[in-house]
Structure 1
């Protein structure tokens, strides 16, 4: 075991973030921390690193082990070039190499014992140099830089001139080259394109140390994680397997908890009905039984109703009118910025009902294509045509379609003036904006909040052709899954740009790969794209799996027979229960009639009639006692 977190508690004021959080990381284990935005994932990593102090509990790192940590936001300042900055991680190897070269020069002047001693030292240093991969450290640095998406002509750029995303990649490269025993990464895929993410996956999978990562990239988590650490409502739960294993197990547990809660609620109501009925019998034994059941109910540990995770945000996408079959036709589209030619002579079509993902490396022009289609940029050449009755709904990753000075309420009401106040508030509430939140200015919102406002406007547009630019940016996993479900139920047409491979795999019916200035068409999801694209690692022959054998007919017949028998038993029980209640009602009514008769002078003065009626009352009492027990048994 390399790391152990034991009973970690952390709160900010009255906001409890972590409650008795406990888990451990084994040597070489690849683990992921998941949870909704604000769950406490980054807080947990900072506590492990000692950047934040836990309210209670302890973090134990195995003796002699090292941790490397990459936070979400990097404030890297350096006058080094990119290459020099990464090379600085290998300073010990560089110094060792210099010592070896110096020793080589010294040995030319030595002889005898001094030479022998120098040779021994040279051998030791050479062995150490080899263990530290000294003969390939420069190649290692170049490999990491290229893997993280830096071109060779960028190696000499000064770090201080880089963007925030580029600085994060430089920091990630330095961390990977330092080879700590435990790598901790907070959202490492945010500033990487698909090729770089795939390279990072391979690097981490082959890494001989342990990895603990926070990420919303479910495809990434599926590739690398063997353990999922979930933070939900401050509680930490550990699941073995990758993200898909976790999601399936989580769904099973939620279903089981809901089933248990519903069963208990049903049992409570049933017991309350039985208690009320027993008390209505107004007999000593029945009342005692009722009291016994009440005590049992008082001792019952009542389960809390499980929260329904998908009830948090509601997205319903539905077009107002149906478009023609030909939604979009693009012919000969070209665009350049100065001397940089992004693409030329692009031709493609989009048909009604398709969900087309436009993918490619950063800087290839994907967002530019969407802006051209939305009339925000002009193409250098070529044209595009929208089909009959096509109405576009546009989601901009930078949310330029939102007005910073407006409040949320104004943003919706100005865009859709026909909506009344109640509808606007209900719509915003569906996207988690309630109360005074609706009067916040757009400029005051976080990236995730702006994304939710843009989605709300998209939902209200009732467009039949959605053009989406990185719609999952800033969304947590739960929100992404809700959006996926909405798009998969959408009857219109979708064209989108995304780096989220899981999202693409779940929603796309076709992929257009913008590479080398041209489009390559793949009729399938992301898994299909990988299968066809990666010609260097072709899929093995014979991958088709044999169809599962049909269940024997006799077993099917047996299940059907058992089901019929159970249904017959259920019907008989219900009939018996009904007949028992009817007989109890009849006998109790007759018992009341006898009591009424015994008050009449013509009866209580007639000894023979009194004896007869008292005998009938005794028979009724005995029969009722049996029926009450029978009713109670059937009520179970």
Structure 2
């Protein structure tokens, strides 16, 4: 239906697409994913002919519809003129058929027949009915056809453009972020409409639910390349998880091989006829052959060091650590042990210059081919490999990075039993009233400053295994009693308060309390209390006061350890990425910590913040939250401007966070999987 062949596109010195090829056939619906600025919109503009490639060939049928992120019409045009512009092809066919009908002769009969056939195939007779149907489905039925475009809101203009493109019913559809500004019913209508489309569809979207329901294949745009994944969005996540597992295995095998070579160089290579007893009648031979023996030993040692040098010069990059938010009341998990060649633990400043020889969980004898490692590293995610490898590790980099699938990630409280070096962050007793004295005595080292206050209620800290498919296990969100919570009889009233706890729970520390708070006419809260361990999802229409509520909670917090991710992130544009990152330690330690998150490449750390894209600034704000422990996290649209893969990882990190959490989000995937209490904000008031 349409394709690219060896296409390249640059803007100045920046290469957006490099020698890429792809195709979408009839009946295929391709979802295009990637980070902001990776080239997704550029790809659609090249297919639509809005821009021309520097090199390569673009093949596109004449009958296609393109929806950009803006409508692209003069503001003085009316709604009807916008509709006529979208249906211009059908209108031209209508006019030509009328002209031929006025004087039908044998000479024009063939032309008329061809036009009539094409008009019917494109559904020309149903075009006006499709316009009305699209207007109703997308919530534009109230918009008059004579209204100027300048009188419409931004959301209404976006929906008008989408309605016009769909009403034209072209064979090929190119849609850039069509789900923006759509409510739940409009999204459902759009999903059904696209699934019924008989032609080819290419759609750029960050909506994971939309991609899962619509896309039959996924095209990932990253680092100037396009990678194709079959099986829809679910198959895309499964392929990412499998590639991540292969990456981790190869990294573990590389570490184990280095450990074995170092051990051989230090011990076995120096041995001669190990285990053979020297007899009296060959003492002279031992002395006579000493030179030959020493030469043999030296040769084996040289060979071992040469093999070690080659392994360190061509390393397998370490996969980025899973995203994890830290609470002040939890114990940080120990990082993977790293040893120097002399068996000593390296200092933080040494780690980036010395290859870690062994894994925390040694694997069996290496079986993965060294030549095959680079193959699967080329298909990856938006996150970058960490750089605590030898300096020569820059000679080998994966083009992309691989996250764990949402099905393979577990909260911190549910670690695998096969990891003896890692311990749960807290050993919570089954009783929901208090901790056992014995547990307090056995683990005094786990106490932190926040332990001076009452401990968090174990009953609210349900893990992924306690819920079904990650959906809410809360009583207010589901019909029954949530797993891990006390039954209603444990509380005097058995009723849920609006802050997500039972009326009798008074043993948890209050982190924030709002009483009779009013912010102009934007927010009015009578009472809202947030305790340790509680999880709150705030929903509401645009302008309902959700962001104002988060700001009020931050100002009335009783703890200084509050992490607040605002919807509009601002940094000093003159600072570098590393300087804006507020991690602890010396610059080298902060650099290593930021790289371990996988959110930035090494060369990006010295880039000015003012040159970053919106998505990159969002990553930087997220990295600063990951750097420090917090009692309370306030997140305003946390998945905005993040790739679907990174949004999946962020969800897993939030699922494992044990502190108090307040989230504002329109993300359907996040809100449907959220475990906690939901509140609705309408005109600044909690309903």
Class of the TM-score when normalised by the shorter of the 2 chains: 0.5 to 0.7
Residue 191 of structure 2: aligned partner: 201
Q: Deviations over 1:159-203 (max 9, x none)?
A: 134455543333222222222222122232234344333332222
Change (3 A) 1:42 1:102: closer
Following TM superposition, by how much is the alpha carbon of 1:286 offset from its aligned partner in structure 2, in angstroms? 10
- Say if 2:79 is the partner of 1:68: no
Change (3 A) 1:511 1:136: farther
Following TM superposition, by how much is the alpha carbon of 1:247 offset from its aligned partner in structure 2, in angstroms? 1.4
Q: Which has the higher contact order (CA 8 A, sep 6+)?
A: 2
- Say if 2:548 is the partner of 1:371: yes
For the 8 Å contact 1:225–1:242, the answer to whether it is kept is yes
Matches within 5 A, 1:152-551: 152-153=142-143, 156-263=146-253, 266-267=256-257, 270=260, 281=272, 305-306=316-317, 308-309=319-320, 316=326, 318=328, 321=450, 324=508, 352-360=532-540, 362-363=541-542, 365-366=543-544, 368-372=545-549, 374-375=551-552, 393-399=563-569, 402=570, 422=587, 432=600, 440=608, 446-455=613-622, 458=625, 463-512=630-679
Higher helix share: 1
2:87 partner SS:
helix
Q: Deviations over 1:218-252 (max 9, x none)?
A: 22111111111223444433221122321121121
- Take 2:559 and 2:198, find their aligned partners in 1: how far apart are those partners? 57
Residue 22 of structure 1: aligned partner: 21
Structure 1 unmatched runs, 5+: 108-113, 115-119, 378-384, 521-636
Following TM superposition, by how much is the alpha carbon of 1:255 offset from its aligned partner in structure 2, in angstroms? 1.6
- Take 1:5 and 1:236, find their aligned partners in 2: how far apart are those partners? 11
Q: Deviations over 1:341-372 (max 9, x none)?
A: x9999998766534333334x44x44x14414
- Take 1:77 and 1:278, find their aligned partners in 2: how far apart are those partners? 79
For the 8 Å contact 2:36–2:614, the answer to whether it is kept is no
For the 8 Å contact 1:184–1:213, the answer to whether it is kept is yes
TM-score with structure 1 setting the length: 0.59
- Take 2:146 and 2:5, find their aligned partners in 1: how far apart are those partners? 45
- Take 2:588 and 2:302, find their aligned partners in 1: how far apart are those partners? 50
Matches within 5 A, 1:112-191: 133=123, 136-150=126-140, 152-153=142-143, 156-191=146-181
Residue 33 of structure 1: aligned partner: 32
Change (3 A) 1:291 1:333: closer
Change (3 A) 1:507 1:126: same
Matches within 5 A, 1:570-585: none
- Take 1:440 and 1:294, find their aligned partners in 2: how far apart are those partners? 41
Residue 348 of structure 2: aligned partner: none
- Take 1:463 and 1:130, find their aligned partners in 2: how far apart are those partners? 63
- Take 1:219 and 1:326, find their aligned partners in 2: how far apart are those partners? 35
- Take 2:228 and 2:253, find their aligned partners in 1: how far apart are those partners? 27
Following TM superposition, by how much is the alpha carbon of 1:27 offset from its aligned partner in structure 2, in angstroms? 0.4
Residue 409 of structure 2: aligned partner: none
- Take 1:462 and 1:49, find their aligned partners in 2: how far apart are those partners? 48
2:658 partner SS:
coil
- Take 2:624 and 2:134, find their aligned partners in 1: how far apart are those partners? 42
CA RMSD in angstroms comes to 5.6
- Take 1:21 and 1:498, find their aligned partners in 2: how far apart are those partners? 35
For the 8 Å contact 2:68–2:176, the answer to whether it is kept is yes
1:374 partner SS:
helix
1:483 partner SS:
helix
- Take 1:285 and 1:376, find their aligned partners in 2: how far apart are those partners? 73
- Take 1:27 and 1:478, find their aligned partners in 2: how far apart are those partners? 27
Structure 2 unmatched runs, 5+: 105-109, 273-291, 330-448, 457-507
Change (3 A) 1:294 1:435: closer
For the 8 Å contact 1:428–1:434, the answer to whether it is kept is no
- Take 1:242 and 1:56, find their aligned partners in 2: how far apart are those partners? 30
For the 8 Å contact 2:216–2:230, the answer to whether it is kept is yes
Following TM superposition, by how much is the alpha carbon of 1:29 offset from its aligned partner in structure 2, in angstroms? 0.5
Residue 623 of structure 1: aligned partner: none
- Take 2:57 and 2:523, find their aligned partners in 1: how far apart are those partners? 55
- Take 1:335 and 1:150, find their aligned partners in 2: how far apart are those partners? 33
TM-score with structure 2 setting the length: 0.55
Q: Which shows bigger deviation, 125-134 or 146-155?
A: 125-134
Q: Deviations over 1:135-179 (max 9, x none)?
A: 653342233234334350466542134455543333222222222
- Take 2:606 and 2:141, find their aligned partners in 1: how far apart are those partners? 45
- Take 1:300 and 1:459, find their aligned partners in 2: how far apart are those partners? 32
Following TM superposition, by how much is the alpha carbon of 1:204 offset from its aligned partner in structure 2, in angstroms? 1.2
- Take 1:172 and 1:85, find their aligned partners in 2: how far apart are those partners? 11
1:228 partner SS:
strand
- Take 2:224 and 2:527, find their aligned partners in 1: how far apart are those partners? 51
Change (3 A) 1:346 1:93: farther
- Take 1:297 and 1:460, find their aligned partners in 2: how far apart are those partners? 34
Following TM superposition, by how much is the alpha carbon of 1:488 offset from its aligned partner in structure 2, in angstroms? 1.8
Q: Which shows bigger deviation, 343-352 or 287-296?
A: 287-296
Aligned residues: 489
Following TM superposition, by how much is the alpha carbon of 1:28 offset from its aligned partner in structure 2, in angstroms? 1.1
Following TM superposition, by how much is the alpha carbon of 1:90 offset from its aligned partner in structure 2, in angstroms? 3.3
Change (3 A) 1:229 1:467: same
Q: Deviations over 1:91-125 (max 9, x none)?
A: 56567778999999x99xxxxxx9xxxxx999999
Q: Deviations over 1:514-556 (max 9, x none)?
A: 6899978xxxxxxxxxxxxxxxxxxxxxxxxxxxxxxxxxxxx
Change (3 A) 1:390 1:194: farther
Residue 286 of structure 2: aligned partner: none
- Take 2:148 and 2:77, find their aligned partners in 1: how far apart are those partners? 6
For the 8 Å contact 2:511–2:532, the answer to whether it is kept is yes
Following TM superposition, by how much is the alpha carbon of 1:261 offset from its aligned partner in structure 2, in angstroms? 4.9
For the 8 Å contact 2:122–2:169, the answer to whether it is kept is no
Residue 546 of structure 1: aligned partner: none
Matches within 5 A, 1:63-102: 64=61, 66-91=63-88
